[in-house]
Amino acid sequence: MHSSTDNNIPKRGFTSKEFEARLLKAQEIMYKWELDAIFLTTPPNIRYFSGFDTQFWESPTRPWFLVVPLEGKPIAVIPEIGKNGMALTWVDDIRTWHSPNPIDDGVSLLKSTLEEQTKNFNKIGAELGKEMSIRMPTIDLDKIRKNVSSQIIDGTPAIWEMRMVKTASEVKHIDHICKIASDAYNTLPKNLSIGETERDAVRKLRIDIANKGADATPFMPAVSGPGGVSQIICGPSDRILEKGDILFIDTGSTYDGYFCDFDRNFAIGEISNEAAQAYDLLWLATEAGISAAIPGATTEDVWTSMNKIIEDASTIKNNVGRFGHGLGLQLTEPPSHSFGNKTQILENMVLTIEPGIEYAPGKMMVHEENIVVSKEGPKLLTIRAPREMPIIK
């Protein structure tokens, strides 16, 4: 492992005190939104309130539920196979059924648990809205919506209000994975040569990131092309890296469930003036975006600070739709830095700063850094991209 990360590895998991604080904050927000409970189905939401971690969620076969009440601790309503694992968390009330059950896969047990909740508001929040997909069969959700006496409403705004501002421990986790991936990106030019493929680059970077202490790399697209890349989300392919290419790599790697999300651009052999100018412009736009991310500003302000620099240079505009977003237990979370988005930037939000341009027809470039909004202002979590594009020989 690299020396810069050796002495500062955050402890895995979180204390019961931390989960109590998350719960109390959530309950205040639930009260404000007039919710008697929220019920959760997705891995990041269940993990946020329970600490429960399992790769078993990769299997779509069984639904899992966590009910967070307006008063008292979360209640797990889960398949029998998860009982011993859930018992290791701070959750005490664990209710199980024998799953998969083609007739009733947890629906009755979830319904009776929801019916037990206090009825101050007769409303229960669920993951029905933006930037979420509920993780259960829709036909079973329909049964819950029809048969539970309280109204099941969209709890998404409340849930994002709970998760958007990070705790100090969460920030340490994200900082750690950002440092690991930064180190690995910086090492890549030493390990990769002209004549190797996009897929070689990804394999080497993945292995280096694993060796440096990451748990997983769920996201690592890579694209290359002569003088630039035409898209940034597909790949890697077996395309061979040749002199004059640009190689773009993005990664969401994780440590103890928490993501980094940032990219780097590499020139193969040499760099054209055109690509060097685009790189310079985006490096400066990133500087502006970082500086603008202060408590009290809006995400639109952050977008405007970057967009002004890009518009002044009159390049073709980007088509990513935004210049960055939140991150944490997910690769991308609210808020978005975009035109018209008036989300207030708050202390302890973790954000990407991610300006992108199309600098020639069919040639895109995107830069990206991860920051935390500290009391003293924006603070980098990633090691800043080099001032000039690194060259792979």
Q: Which positions from 167 through 206 interact with its own copies, judged by CB under 8 A? A: 203, 206
Question: 107-115 and 138-147 are packed helices; what angle lies between their axes, rounded to 10 degrees?
Answer: 30
**In terms of CB distance, is 63 or 74 closer to its own copies?**
63
Q: Which of 261, 291, 271 is nearest to 373 (CA)?
A: 291
| Amino acid type, 46 | I
Per-residue burial over 301-324, b = 16 or more CB atoms within 10 Å of its CB, e = otherwise: bbbbbbbebbeebebeebebebbb
In this chain, which of 3, 138, 273, 314 binds its own copies, going by CB under 8 A?
Answer: 138
**Do the beta carbons of residue 127 and residue 134 sit within 8 Å?**
yes
**Do the beta carbons of residue 99 and residue 62 sit within 8 Å?**
yes
Torsion of CA 29, 34, 36, 41, to 10 degrees: -60
Instruction: Lay out the site mask for its own copies across 64-103 (x = CB under 8 A, - = otherwise).
Output: ---------------xxxxxxx--x---------xxxxx-
Q: How far apart are CA 313 and CA 205, in angstroms?
A: 33
**In terms of CB distance, is 362 or 377 closer to its own copies?**
362
Least CB distance from residue 18 to its own copies, whole Å? 19
**In terms of CB distance, is 232 or 278 closer to its own copies?**
232
Binding of residue 143 to its own copies (CB under 8 A): no
Binding of residue 358 to its own copies (CB under 8 A): no
Instruction: Lay out the site mask for its own copies across 33-62 (x = CB under 8 A, - = otherwise).
Output: --------x----------xxxxx-xxxx-
In this chain, which of 35, 37, 220, 373 binds its own copies, going by CB under 8 A?
Answer: 220
DSSP string, 280-291: HHHHHHHHHHHH
**In terms of CB distance, is 83 or 308 closer to its own copies?**
83
Instruction: Lay out the site mask for its own copies across 305-344 (x = CB under 8 A, - = otherwise).
Output: --------------xxxx--x----xxx---x-x--x---
Binding of residue 105 to its own copies (CB under 8 A): yes
